[in-house]
Structure 1
Amino acid sequence: MRGASGSSERLVGGAKNVRGARARLTRLLTASLAAVLGGGSAALLFLVPLYADPALSALAADFAPAPAECVTERRDERLGLDNCTWASCREGCTSDAYRCLQLHVKYRPRSQEDWRPAVLYVNIKGCGYPPAVNCANFTRDHGRVGARYACYWSRADPSVVVPEWSRAEQVGTVTRTLALPLFLSGCAGVGLCALHCECRPRARPKARARPRERPGPPAPDVAAPGYRLA
């Protein structure tokens, strides 16, 4: 009897250890998946306005793949919030500009002789953050009247040109800033659901088969009333 009770105690203790290990593993996985989900959400909040939105706007502008020839025609340095509704280059996109530089250019696409007027932006938004956007270098290279350089014109708005453009780079930016955080957040959400929720669809109860009705005894024939002749 003592041996049987000892073996049962060992079995109970082993089952408790297994349950404890499973609980610790569940807590560890929950904390890890929650961290991934929170990090993915925070990354989306941070990356979308800084990188994804400008890249999507650049793709929507549909810049020509072949560079055109650009010449700076006029340089305006303006002061005042009402006069700075747009700027060719501005470091920082969230604050209002009270001093701005506006560059007016003309460009000529390849295999064409006509010049077209346009405004020059450092990128589709006209603003950005260092080191990607450096307005001092941009002004030095493009802000002198008569400066010649290659530029890319927007087929959606031909009055806008930018000095640099790469469709593959913009697609890669959108992929890194949107697809990867969304994929990680989705995987973490599915993992949390699998750990703590009943995510499987409930099986519909099968309809009970109705018992067949047994045929009853045949109804007796009722003779029609007869008529006798008198």
Structure 2
Amino acid sequence: MTSKPSFTLLSLAETAKFYTSLCLGTTAFVSVFAFLFLIPFVVDPSITSLMADYDTEPVTCVATNHVYAEGISNCSWASCREGCTREATRCHQIHVNYSRVPFRKYNKDKIVHWEVTNTRFLINTEGCGYPPSVNCSQFAKQYGYNTAGTPFPCYYSRMYPEFVVSRYSWDDTLRNLVLSLAIPNLLFIASVGLLSYWYCPGCGRSCQKYMHHFPDK
């Protein structure tokens, strides 16, 4: 009779270990696919944005031309695309002039010297995104159509001066990069590490020999 509670506790421990192992294995599996998914959508764009070295303070831009085109042959590039993995069949193409004068210092009564003229204007480094954060119709209304000649803030690349975008935040870009690298990899390492400790006795002994053992007093 005394062995029954012990048997029950052992069964509960084994059941808990089984389901915990199942959760850890699923977490490791999902983490790998999440990281692979984040590479083209977050990691690569963030690295490209940081390497472009955009000026963190918005400068002064003015739209010079806006073309709305249809057909893949007419949409070799687009200022904004809703979806980064498919060819654009309809596109907005906006060109701008920009001055390195900060937008907050812009004075409409003074003559502005445009450092770069008639260059392509993109919503972000990739020129694409997904709703609701990217809405190309709203983007075109804000920067194209009848707004030509009206100054607005924009961000230019110090590494590639012909790159001009409407949105950029160094803090947000770095935060997204760090989180997309850290979270999936840490979850994968923690899950695989715990599973290895439970089911690979040799791994535990290998780790112990690297631990410093203090002499007994």
Q: What TM-score comes out, normalization by structure 1 length?
A: 0.76
Structure 2: 5+ residue stretches without partners: 103-111, 210-217
- Identify the residue that residue 192 of structure 1 maps to in structure 2: 195
Contact 2:97 2:114 in 1 (8 A): no
- Identify the residue that residue 108 of structure 2 maps to in structure 1: none
Contact 1:64 1:155 in 2 (8 A): yes
Q: Distance in 2 between matches of 1:71 and 1:152?
A: 12
Give, in angstroms, the shift of residue 15 of structure 1: 5.8
Q: Distance in 2 between matches of 1:140 and 1:26?
A: 57
Q: Which has the higher helix share?
A: 2
Q: Distance in 2 between matches of 1:53 and 1:114?
A: 31
Percent identity over paired residues: 32
Q: Distance in 2 between matches of 1:114 and 1:80?
A: 32
Q: Distance in 2 between matches of 1:141 and 1:202?
A: 60
Give, in angstroms, the shift of residue 114 of structure 1: 4.2
Larger radius of gyration: 1
Post-superposition Cα deviations, 1:100-134, rounded to whole Å, max 9, x if no partner, equal 21111110002784431221100000010011111
Q: What TM-score comes out, normalization by structure 2 length?
A: 0.80
Give, in angstroms, the shift of residue 158 of structure 1: 0.6
Contact 1:91 1:130 in 2 (8 A): yes
Matches within 5 A, 1:58-137: 58-110=49-101, 113-117=113-117, 118-137=119-138
- Identify the residue that residue 105 of structure 2 maps to in structure 1: none
- Identify the residue that residue 206 of structure 2 maps to in structure 1: 201
Q: More displaced, 184-193 or 171-180?
A: 171-180
Structure 1: 5+ residue stretches without partners: 1-8, 205-230
Matches within 5 A, 1:127-206: 127-143=128-144, 144-197=147-200, 198-199=202-203, 200-201=205-206
More RCO (CA 8 Å, sep 6+): 2
1:36 and 2:27 aligned: yes
Give, in angstroms, the shift of residue 26 of structure 1: 2.1
